[in-house]
Amino acid sequence: MTGRKKLFIKTYGCQMNVYDSERMGDALGARGFEQVDSPEGADMILLNTCHIREKAAEKVYSELGRYKGLKADNPGLKIGVAGCVAQAEGEEIIRRQPMVDLVVGPQAYHRLPEMLDKAGNGPVVDTDFPAEDKFTHLPRGPKAKRAPSAFLTVQEGCDKFCAFCVVPYTRGAEVSRPPARLLEEARDLLARGVVEITLLGQNVNAYQADGWSLARLIREMAKLDGLKRIRFTTSHPNDMGDDLIAAFGEEEKLMPYLHLPVQSGSDKILKAMNRKHTAEGYLELLERIRAARPDIALSGDFIVGFPGEDEADFEATLELCQEVRYAAAYSFKYSPRPGTPAAERSHVDEAVKAERLQRLQTLLGEHQFAFQQSMVGQTLPVLLERPGREAGQMVGKSPYLQAVHMDAEPELAGRIVNAKILRSERNSLAGALLKP
Ligand code: SAH
Ligand code: SF4
Ligand code: F3S
């Protein structure tokens, strides 16, 4: 064979998909593929998809539509659909887009190389939930140098069944990976130049394996030489154990940032969503977390216009936000998802959803801006990651997950430097590098 085959991967959705795409890229790399930045001229295209809202799912079909010409130019081109749309729709994808060669669900990625071998004889679909750990069976690529910050999936799946959400159906039941394997993978990342690891899971704080909690896993990882920062996401309020809260106060490498979605500030809606906690319970929890780590930056997710949400319910959400003052937040209009309980209920008018979303985002935006502004004049430790937009600049991250740009040499990538914050912009901070 002359030359390596070209692989183009496009990733949608959450960080878990980013991690999965890296691992699939590795696995196919071991099969002679090199990754390229555009679909033109590729021998294989893999879409790693998201099913969380209708818009996310529809993107897949419009993207596939754009590949028609490519397949005409190169009949050898293989097109694969992975991720949560693959899991949710399975063979339906091939019915809608017959040019798709393979459909692979999130728990079957380790079978990808063999599926590819079979795909020469017509389309293949694998949406099983096999018992084995897909990551253990995925081949590893060569020890390539990595960016300073990396994701590491420690837990997958969800048993919570919020009434609006597809994740328990697309990712399956909660499964935690064994700690020994995770420590080994962390060491491997450190050997490749990684200094910050974000532990990922759909319900990462439900992590439980070999008697280890997430707090224990964090404490053990913190002992690894060369690891400078640890983060984790996404957490559920009901799995926020005392040991994890304590770790925020005690473990220096654990960064003071917590994404803790609440979805709504109305108890009636929380109940209808099957969230199994109240607004008050959530606020009390935040109080305990802030007691352990007073400077913690909080972020959340919100859904507006959930079935049954009236103006008073929505205002309760605004009140909760006033109380918490999130450093960052993500908010969405409720999107009915096939197969979920809430999809069967009577829906809030689209125009009302849009109006509420706008009001909520205005408030969240004010708080986010105030948080950014409060950094001006402070000196923050910044992990430098990559070149900035302008020549001579580098961009890094504050402990609070803010992008900070400053004049700095590219050789400083992977180092934590002190920076004086000069200005706050909407989505980033401008700083000046302080000499050590
Ligand atoms: N496991 C995480 C996040 C899952 S999805 C958690 O429990 O919080 C990320 C976010 O998408 C959710 O927090 C929710 O705000 C939003 N989301 C999920 N399903 C949705 C739907 N049907 N319509 C609108 N937003 C949704
Ligand atoms: Fe979805 Fe709820 Fe599970 Fe989060 S906790 S993934 S929102 S079902
Ligand atoms: Fe989307 Fe699946 Fe993640 S639905 S948000 S890619 S778990």
User: Residues 110, 131: contact at Cβ < 8 Å?
Assistant: no
Q: Among 11, 12, 51, which residue has the most ligand 3 atoms within 8 Å of its CB, making it the best to mutate? A: 51
Query: What three-state secondary structure class fits 393?
Result: strand
User: Residues 33, 43: contact at Cβ < 8 Å?
Assistant: yes
Q: Is the CB of 167 under 6 A from ligand 3?
A: yes
- Compute the distance from residue 245 Cα to the ligand 1 centre, in Å: 23
Determine the residue type at 45. I
**For the residues 192-219, what does the mean pLDDT come to?**
97
* Atom in ligand 1 nearest the alpha carbon of residue 162: 7
Higher-pLDDT residue of 21 and 124 is: 21
Q: Is the CB of 172 under 6 A from ligand 3?
A: no
Residue 72 has a pLDDT of 87
Ligand 2 pocket (Cβ < 6 Å) reads 158, 160-162, 165, 167-168, 202-203, 236
272-317: per-residue pLDDT in tens?
Answer: 999 999 999 999 999 999 999 999 999 999 999 999 999 999 999 9
**Protein residue closest via CA to atom 7 of ligand 1:** 236
**Protein residue closest via CA to atom 1 of ligand 3:** 50
Which residues partner with 397 through β-bridges? 383, 403
Q: Is the CB of 60 under 6 A from ligand 3?
A: no
Q: Is the CB of 31 under 6 A from ligand 1?
A: no
Residues ≥6 apart with Cβ < 8 Å to 114: none
Residue 345 has a pLDDT of 96
Is the pLDDT at 141 greater than 80? The verdict is: no
Residue 30 has a pLDDT of 84
- Nearest 5°: the CA angle 372, 373, 378 is 90
Lowest mean pLDDT among 33-42, 128-137, 308-317: 128-137
158-199: per-residue pLDDT in tens?
Answer: 999 999 999 999 999 999 999 999 999 999 999 999 999 999
Distances (CA, A) of 370 to 81, 255, 297, 366: 41, 20, 12, 6
- pLDDT interval class at 1 (50, 70, 90): very low
Residue 403 has a pLDDT of 97
* Atom in ligand 1 nearest the alpha carbon of residue 342: 22
**Protein residue closest via CA to atom 24 of ligand 1:** 334
388-413: per-residue pLDDT in tens?
Answer: 988 999 999 999 999 999 999 999 99
Residue ranges of domains in the chain, CATH in brackets: 5-126 (3.40.50.12160), 143-255 (3.30.750.210), 284-374 (3.30.750.200), 379-433 (2.40.50.140)
- 3-state per-residue secondary structure call for 217-272: HHHHHCCCCCCCEEEEECCCHHHCCHHHHHHHHHCCCECCEEECCCECCCHHHHHH
Is the pLDDT at 327 greater than 90? The verdict is: yes
